[in-house]
Amino acid sequence: MKKTDMAKGDAKKIQGQMAARGAVVGAPAKDAAPDRREQRERDRALGLVPFAVKLNGDLVAQLQTLSKERGVELNALVAELLQKGLAD
C-alpha cells in the first residue's frame, strides 16, 4: 500500500467520524458570505459592471484611508471620485 493511499484512508476515516457526530462535511456556514454567482446576480440587478484597473500602491492606500475616514465602501468612493473627475 502506498503512502498516499494510507493518507486517503485516514482522511475518509476522519470524515466518517465527523459525519457520525452530526457535522455536515462540506456544508457552508450559515453566516457565510453569499457565493459568487449570487453576488454577481445582485450586482447585475443593481446595474453594476466589474471594471478592473491597475493602480499605484500609494494611490490605493490613499483611497482605502479616505474610504475608512468617510465610512463608505471603496467601490462607492471610487465611483464618486470618477464622477467628479469626469464632470470637470
Note whether residue 84 is domain-resident.
yes
Domain limits for position 65:
49-88
Note whether residue 85 is domain-resident.
yes
Digit-coded pLDDT (tens) for 38-85: 988 998 999 989 889 999 999 999 999 999 999 999 999 999 999 999
With CA atoms as reference, report the closest residue to 63 among 48, 75, 50: 75
pTM higher than 0.75 for the full model? no
Note whether residue 63 is domain-resident.
yes
Quickly tell me which residue has 459592471 as its cell: 49
Number of domains in the chain: 1
CATH of the domain at 83: 1.10.1220
The answer to whether 60 touches 49, Cβ cutoff 8 Å, is: no
